Chains A and B, each alone.
Chain A
Amino acid sequence: NAGVMQNPRHLVRRRGQEARLRCSPMKGHSHVYWYRQLPEEGLKFMVYLQKENIIDESGMPKERFSAEFPKEGPSILRIQQVVRGDSAAYFCASSPTLLGADTQYFGPGTRLTVL
C-alpha cells in the first residue's frame, strides 16, 4: 500500500508565477489536509478537504491560495502570483476517517522556492 504521494518534491517559481502542488492520498483515504512549514518552524494547518468539498479552510490565506480535491485525481493546492514569502515546505496528509486524526499520514512534502 503506497503512502501519501506528493509532487513535485521541489518546485522553483519566479515571483508572479503560479505554483501547483499535487497530493495523492493513501488508498482508501478520503480526507486530505494541507500544512505549510516555514524554515525553523512547526507545521501550520491550511485546509481540510473531503472529496469535492472544502471542510475547513481557516488556515488558508485569503488571497492567491486555493485548494481542491476532485472526485477523481489528486488534491491540488494552487498558489497564484507567488511571492518570496510563499517559499516553504508544503505537506499533505491523509486519513481514512475524520475521527482518525491521529492516523493522519504525511507525505514527503513539496519544497517551494520563489526567486
Chain B
Amino acid sequence: GQQLNQSPQSMFIQEGEDVSMNCTSSSIFNTWLWYKQDPGEGPVLLIALYKAGELTSNGRLTAQFGITRKDSFLNISASIPSDVGIYFCAGLGSSNTGKLIFGQGTTLQVKP
C-alpha cells in the first residue's frame, strides 16, 4: 500500500531558529497536507497543497508540493515555544474515498 516516510523523527531547537521537515513517498499523491497535533488532541490542518510545484504559506509556515508529486516539505521560520508539537504530513490516497495516508510524524521541541 501507499506509505509516507517523514523525517526527521524529532527535532530539538532554540527559539528563533528555522525548522525544516519533509515527507517522501514511492507513489504519487494528488494532494499533500500538513497537520499539527498537540498532546491529547486531534490533528489540526496547517496547509493544503493541490498542485505539483505549489508553494504555499500560512504565517510563519511554508510548504511545497514536490514536482514529482512524491514529496513535500514544511518550513517553520523563527520558531516560538507554541510551535511545540507533532507535525504530520498526509497524502490523499489513490482510492478516491478521501482516505488520508499519514507519515510517522516529526516531534518538535523548542527551547526558550
Q: How many residues of A contact B (CB 8 A)?
A: 27
Bound Cα distance from A60 to B102, whole angstroms:
16
Question: Judging by beta carbons under 8 Å apart, are B44 and A106 in contact?
Answer: yes
> Chain A: which residue is nearest B105 at the CB level?
A42
* Total cross-chain contacts (CB, 8 A): 68
A33 to B95 CA separation, bound complex (whole angstroms): 14
**Residues A91 and B42 in contact, CB atoms below 8 Å apart:** yes
Query: Distance in Å from the Cβ of B108 to the closest Cβ of chain A?
Result: 15
Q: What is the number of residues of chain B that contact chain A, defined by CB distance less than 8 Å?
A: 27
Indicate if the CB atoms of B98 and A48 lie closer than 8 Å: yes
The closest CB in chain A to the CB of B3 belongs to A42
Contact of B98 among A33, A42, A44, A59 (CB under 8 A): A33
- Contact (Cβ within 8 A) A45 B43: no
CB pair A56–B97 under 8 Å, yes or no, is: yes
Per-position 1/0 for B20-47, Cβ under 8 A of A:
0000000000010100000011111100
> Complex: how many Å from CA A42 to CA B4?
10
- In the complex, whether B66 has a CB less than 8 A from a CB of chain A is no
Task: Encode A49-61 as 1/0 by CB contact (under 8 A) with B.
Answer: 0000001101100
**Any B CB within 8 A of the CB of A22:** no
- Interface: A41 (CB within 8 A): yes
A55→B95 CA distance, assembly (Å): 11
- In the A-B complex, the 5 residue pairs with the closest CB atoms: A106-B42, A42-B102, A56-B97, A101-B98, A102-B48
Instruction: List the interface of chain A (C-beta within 8 A of B).
Output: 4, 31, 33, 35, 41-45, 48, 55-56, 58-59, 91, 93, 95, 98, 101-109
